[in-house]
């Protein structure tokens, strides 16, 4: 462990964490040095926060999730605002 904290490595290493072991779409795992995947439960989507925390690329999600467990959706919030979000098909996760 001392080696990792000594800053003697030639360059910074990226260690992202993703919750989907099949495609690891979240966390920029495709362009990282080491990827860690932890699949415990289907993701919980907060429709009112999703646009502020992550990008929702409509076509990209449908193509990258091979089981079609996560699909793009549009939802009208209680305040009347329409937002782009995703829907999770839990049995397919």
pLDDT in tens, 64-93: 666 777 888 888 989 999 988 888 888 877
Partners of 83 in beta bridges? 75
* In the predicted structure, residue 12 carries a pLDDT above the cut 60: yes
Give the model's pLDDT for residue 71: 81
Distance CA 11, CA 18 (A): 22
Distance CA 54, CA 79 (A): 21
Q: What are phi and psi of 58, to 5 degrees?
A: -55, -55
Give the model's pLDDT for residue 79: 92
DSSP strand pairing (70-76 vs 82-88): antiparallel
The string of pLDDT tens digits covering residues 18-69 is 655 555 555 555 566 666 666 667 777 888 887 776 666 555 666 666 677 7
Residue-range domains of the chain with CATH: 12-40 (no CATH), 42-93 (3.30.70.20)
């Amino acid at each position: 462990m001392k080696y990792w904290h000594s800053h003697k490595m030639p360059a910074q290493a990226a260690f992202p964490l993703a919750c989907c072991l099949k495609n690891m779409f979240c966390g920029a795992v495709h362009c990282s040095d080491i990827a860690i995947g932890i699949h415990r439960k289907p993701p919980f989507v907060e429709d009112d926060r999703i646009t502020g925390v992550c990008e929702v690329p409509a076509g990209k999600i449908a193509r990258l999730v091979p089981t079609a467990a996560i699909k793009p959706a549009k939802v009208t919030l209680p305040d009347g605002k329409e937002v782009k979000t995703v829907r999770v098909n839990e049995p397919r996760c």
